[in-house]
Amino acid sequence: MEPRPAGPQVKSLTFVTLRHVLFSSFVGERGDNVLSAVLDNLDLEARTTLQSAEPGGWVDEHLMLNVMETLLQTGFEGDSAAYQDFARGVAAAGISRFLKIFLSLTSARFALRRVPVVWNHLRRNAGAVDVQREGEGLRLTYVGFPFFAHEAYRLLSAANCEALAHAAAGKAPRAHVESWSTDSLQLYFDLKAA
């Protein structure tokens, strides 16, 4: 058994999916020159990991942070809405065909209540997520994850949840960021409006 790392890690499969989307739809929409600028602005280790990641391993979360912040600032020139749409597309691309079929038989509420399971499957040493019913919606609270001071990660977390809900219901309630700190995030989903 391999020793547990000290810091947060993300499954390398996320880099594989991200690479596929970057070299297909991102290039198609933003252009080769923008992708080149993103790659040129990445730290060497993040760029190497993005270009060579294979499914099955784990990657230091700091590398994902570098990629996502660079995408937000360079690839989308700080346009939060465009970046979040892109992140939602990456998340949707990462949902397997089997899981999409299964989720299509459920609801947005069901899918969002499974976010802690998905989080624990894709990350390790990365804090925790709690889901609570609140009125007509759900509140997701992330704690103990030291990346939420970065806008790119708040948007990424919201987009991931929206993609999961969309896979279930065919439409996604929008995440509302209620509060955040350096290591916590609260999202609210109004399911009545969805």
Q: Is the pLDDT of residue 153 over 60?
A: yes
Please name the helix (run of DSSP H) or strand (run of DSSP E) that holds residue 54, with its range, or none: none
pLDDT digits (tens, 9 = 90+) for 19-75: 999 999 999 999 999 999 999 999 999 999 999 999 999 999 999 999 999 999 999
CA distance 152 to 168: 25
Q: How many residues does the chain have?
A: 194
Terminal-to-terminal C-alpha distance of the chain: 44
Burial, 165: exposed, middle or buried (Cβ in 10 Å; 0-12, 13-18, 19+)?
Answer: buried
- Nearest residue to 10 via CA among 55, 72, 71, 40: 55
**Rounded to two decimals, what is the model's pTM?**
0.91
Find all residues with CB under 8 Å of 179, minimum gap 6, and list them: 185, 186
Residue 145 above 70 pLDDT?
yes
Question: In whole angstroms, what is the distance from residue 80 CA to residue 101 CA?
Answer: 30
Query: Residue 169: pLDDT band by 50, 70, 90 thresholds?
Result: confident
